Structure 1
Amino acid sequence: MSILHTARKTYEGFSSILNKLQNPLLLAIRLYWGWQFMQDGWGKLTHLDKVTGFFTSLNLPAPHLTALMVALVELCGGFLFTFGIASRLTSLVLFVNMTMAYLSVPDDRVNFSHILSKPDDFYGATPYTYWFAALLILILGPGLFAVDTLLRSRFAAQGEHAHIAA
């Protein structure tokens, strides 16, 4: 057996092991960052006056309504994100929410503009980890351990039974 063949087989085995970790990683991302979104949403809801004041200082339109909507998006979206319910739609909403967080706060807006020129500013900003977690689930999906996956497999099984009965 050649060294090249051995290296290829070793690499394939290593890749196979890592592929098995994809679903637990997606679950960990959803659990951790979904919980963080829920905590932040709850914090905003319970301190709505402070959030409204902050949004007013940013000159956001309808600051009270905006604060309420952001709080609900983060609380409810975090719940859906955690359990993998409507995962891609939820992730899209959370991703847009965090993009707006980047663009609404002057310092973070500058950091967002440094995405290519000074990436350490970009990923050092407060919204980054939330933004990136939402982006990962948006692109990769929720993984195997999600309500979406359970429902998809259940409906697929029902579809097969209906097709067999017909």
Structure 2
Amino acid sequence: MKPWTLANTLLDRIASYLPDPFLLGIRLYWGWQFFQTGKGKLSDISAPTAFFTELGIPFPQLNAWLAGCTECFGGLLLLSGLFSRSICVPLIFTMLVAYGTAHLDVIKTIWSDADSFVTAPPFLFLLASVIVFIFGPGKFSVDELLRRRKKA
């Protein structure tokens, strides 16, 4: 066997063990970040309500509660890996709304100034949610435990 083929085979075998720890890391870190952000909104609902009012978001207090609850409780679900794909849908929507309201300027310049888009606060929250939505929560999750239990 040629050395480069052996190296590629070895790298493929090593890489095949990485998706589940990677997804666990994303869920743990970003689930905690969502939880903290949401908890912050819920602990002083007047601050996000005032901010949403300033942005012209309709029903600012209701939407502040919705965003805070989605982030706080969605973060906990993401952290545990329970209903992972389902909770990613409202988390993704919340981050898209954040982009479309608080960070509309970076949306308008996404092609001319991509750096401002990827450095905006919602970007990594959105990216983590999209990754878990697409690939699932991985083997180290409550969802996987329930799936295995259902099969047995």
Select the residue among 11, 22, 26 that pairs with 2:23. 26
Identity of aligned residues (%): 39
Instruction: Specify the alignment match of 2:144 in structure 1.
Output: 149
Q: Once the 2 structures are TM-superposed, how far is the Cα of residue 115 of structure 1 from its aligned partner?
A: 3.9
- Structure-1 separation of matches of 2:125 and 2:25: 13
Q: Once the 2 structures are TM-superposed, how far is the Cα of residue 32 of structure 1 from its aligned partner?
A: 0.4
Larger radius of gyration: 1
Contact 1:48–1:68, Cα closer than 8 Å, also in 2? yes
Per mean C-alpha deviation after superposition, the further-off stretch among 10-19 and 73-82 is 10-19
Instruction: Specify the alignment match of 1:64 in structure 2.
Output: 61
Per mean C-alpha deviation after superposition, the further-off stretch among 13-22 and 136-145 is 13-22
- Structure-2 separation of matches of 1:13 and 1:115: 39
Q: TM-score, normalising length from structure 1?
A: 0.87
Instruction: Specify the alignment match of 2:101 in structure 1.
Output: 104
Alignment root-mean-square deviation, CA: 1.2
Where do 1:27-66 residues align within 5 Å? 27-66=24-63
After superposition, the Cα gap between the structure-2 partners of 1:17 and 1:95, relative to the gap in structure 1 and judged at 3 Å, is same
Instruction: Specify the alignment match of 2:86 in structure 1.
Output: 89
Unaligned runs of 5+ in 2: none
Q: TM-score, normalising length from structure 2?
A: 0.95
- Structure-2 separation of matches of 1:65 and 1:43: 16
Deviations 1:69-114 (A, max 9, x none): 1000001100000011111111121111111111111xx1121344
Contact 1:113–1:122, Cα closer than 8 Å, also in 2? no
Deviations 1:108-152 (A, max 9, x none): 112134444432111010100100000100111100000000100
- Structure-1 separation of matches of 2:94 and 2:52: 14
Higher RCO (C-alpha under 8 Å, 6+ residues apart): 2
Give the total of aligned pairs.
152
- Structure-2 separation of matches of 1:92 and 1:20: 27
Instruction: Specify the alignment match of 1:164 in structure 2.
Output: none
Unaligned runs of 5+ in 1: 158-166
